[in-house]
Amino acid sequence: MVGAGPYHGFTRRPTDSSLIRMRLPLLQLMLTLAAALPAAAQDVASADVLAGQRLFESQCVRCHGVGGTGGVGPALTRPTLRRAKDDAELVRVILGGIPGTAMIGFWNLSEQEGVQVAAYVRALGRRPPEVLPGDENRGRALVAGKGACLGCHVINGQGSGWAPDLSEVGLRLGGARLRESLVAPGALQPVSALPSVHGPYPAYLMVEATTAAGRVHAGTRVTEDDFVLVLREADGTIRSLEKTRLRKLVKRPAASPMPSYDGVLTGPELDDVVAYLASLRGAP
């Protein structure tokens, strides 16, 4: 398309967000030109969506799920995105990331590729909303009653606990992922919002520490540095352990402090809970 090469000859430095702003007028020009040529623009638009899908599959699926159905990153199958109200902002989020979150900037993508991925993300948002089999109201009752979820989770101010707040979980996870988090917790752990040199790590890492005296303390890691490990035991006790005094320290990244509800809730009950969770989308 009109002289918009994929790369414009300046070096990308992740610290300088003004580079993204500099490229936006160009993007607006491209969009204006596309709007002036309706028939040709349609072809360009669908070619962009296809190219964008390929990029999405290689760069984004690991966090946003296949087809943008959600995972570590929020589901993108929504007509409006909180952090990207218009197309320019969407491209900016994709290329520049969201500081302080696991959404890193994609400085390896050219501006044109950014526009293509954005076109695909918008196409995802135009798909009809997912139809789920369960009953939302029965699900709400199960979460408060039989499931005893509110002992660990908070939903719209109800419940107590240290597990993730679920008030907006329906924005983040699609139906399949919600079900997976109930029957196979730990398969899809939320990651800490803090960027880490080791990449995103589970915010609810299970650890098992054996002291020199042979006592075993198992729980969820609260913090850890070179010298001290702080963990929370199942009954809520916070324990601080000096690492040099430990005989053994085992980390279980695939384990979860959340029990599996496979067999605890019946298939239809799981459907109901999933329908309820999917309806949790925060304040409108």
User: Smallest distance, Å, CB 38 to ligand HEC?
Assistant: 27
Of positions 19, 149, 207, 229, contacts ligand HEC by CB under 6 A: 149
Between CA 36 and CA 80 the distance in angstroms is: 25
Could you say whether residue 25 binds ligand HEC (CB under 6 A)? no
Interaction of residue 176 with ligand HEC, rule CB under 6 A: no
Q: How far apart are the C-alpha atoms of 91 and 116, rounded to whole Å?
A: 9
The Cα–Cα gap between 112 and 52 comes to 10
The answer to whether residue 231 forms part of the interface with ligand HEC (CB under 6 A) is no
- DSSP three-state, residue 251: strand
The least distance separating ligand HEC from the CB of residue 161, rounded to whole angstroms, comes to 7
For residue 117, what are the contacts with CB-CB under 8 A and spacing of at least 6?
52, 55, 56, 59, 60, 94, 106, 109
Candidates 9-17, 29-37, 148-156, 210-218: pick the segment binding ligand HEC (CB under 6 A).
148-156
For residue 172, what is the enclosing H or E element? helix 169-172
Residue with Cβ nearer ligand HEC (245 or 268): 268
Residue 280 near ligand HEC by CB under 6 A? no
d(CA 19, CA 134): 47
Q: How far is the CB of 189 from ligand HEC (least distance, A)?
A: 5
Distance CA(16)–CA(142), nearest Å, equals 49
- From CA 171, how far away is CA 125, in angstroms rounded? 12
Q: How far is CA 34 from CA 37, 42, 55, in A?
A: 5, 8, 21
Among 92, 153, 179, 221, binds ligand HEC (CB under 6 A): 153
Secondary structure class of 246 (helix, strand, coil)? strand
Report the candidate in 141, 72, 136 with the shortest Cα–Cα distance to residue 104.
72
- Asked if 102 interacts with ligand HEC (CB under 6 A), we say yes
- Site track 197-216 with ligand HEC (rule: CB under 6 A), x = hit: ---x---x------------
Instruction: Closer to ligand HEC by CB, 21 or 243: give it.
Output: 21
Establish if 230 lies at the interface with ligand HEC (CB under 6 A).
no
Applying CB under 6 A, does 23 fall inside the site for ligand HEC?
A: no
**Does residue 229 touch ligand HEC according to CB under 6 A?**
no
Helix (H, G, I), strand (E, B) or coil at 232: strand
Q: Kindly tell me which residue out of 59, 110, 167, 192 binds ligand HEC, with binding defined by CB under 6 A.
A: 59
For ligand HEC (CB under 6 A), the number of binding residues is 52
Helix (H, G, I), strand (E, B) or coil at 45: helix
How far, in Å, CA of 192 to CA of 185, rounded? 16
Choosing from 256, 269, 271, 275, the residue that interacts with ligand HEC (CB under 6 A) is 256
Measured between alpha carbons, how far is 40 from 24 in angstroms, rounded to an integer?
22
Residue 62 contacts ligand HEC per CB under 6 A: yes
Binding site for ligand HEC (CB under 6 A): 56, 59-60, 62-64, 72-74, 76, 81-84, 90, 93-94, 98, 101-104, 106, 117, 121, 143, 147-149, 151-153, 163-164, 166, 169, 172, 178, 181-182, 185-186, 189-190, 200, 204, 256-258, 261, 273, 277
